[in-house]
Amino acid sequence: MTSFVDQVWLTGAVVYGEPDSKHYPMRLQHTEALLQAAISSVGFLASGPRFIAGDWNVCQSELPAFDVLSQLGFKDLQDLAEERWGIRPKATCKFRTRKDFCYVSPELQALLSHVSVIEDLWPDHAVVQGHFHRLTQDRKS
C-alpha cells in the first residue's frame, strides 16, 4: 500500500497472521513468511515514512521478523509511547495478550505526537492508533 500524503509517499503493509489453532499447524512459519515479505517491500525496497501493522497473532518474542524490524530502526507505537512518555503497553487481544502491532520507520517516529489504544471498538481486539504531526507544514500563513 502506498499513499501520497503532503506531497510525500507513505508506504505501508498490513499483515494478518494465522491464528493459534489446530487448523493452522504451520502458523508461525506462515506468519513469518508474510512478515518477511512485507519487510522486504516496505523495509528494504522503500524509503521515507513507512509502517508495517496488523493483527499478527503472535507475541513480540515469537518470530525473527521482530528482530529484523528492530535492525531496520522500526519501532512499535506502544513501545514508543512507553519509551517517550512512560505509557505502559496494553493488551490488544481479548484484554490478555499483545498481538496487534504498528511498527513505524524512523521518519514516522520523528513525527509521532501521541498513541491511542482504543479498546471498545471491536469485541476481541484493540485498535493501536498513532497520531502524527503533518509531513510538511503549510507555508501560506
Which residue spans within 6-119 are E strands per DSSP?
8-14, 50-55, 75-76, 100-104, 112-118
Q: Give tens-digit pLDDT for 24-56.
A: 999 999 999 999 999 999 999 989 999 999 999
Distance CA 109, CA 132 (A): 9
What pLDDT is attached to residue 128?
95
Q: What pLDDT is stored for residue 140 in this prediction?
A: 47
What pLDDT sits at residue 139?
39
Residue 67: predicted pLDDT: 97
Pairing of strands 112-118, 100-104: unpaired
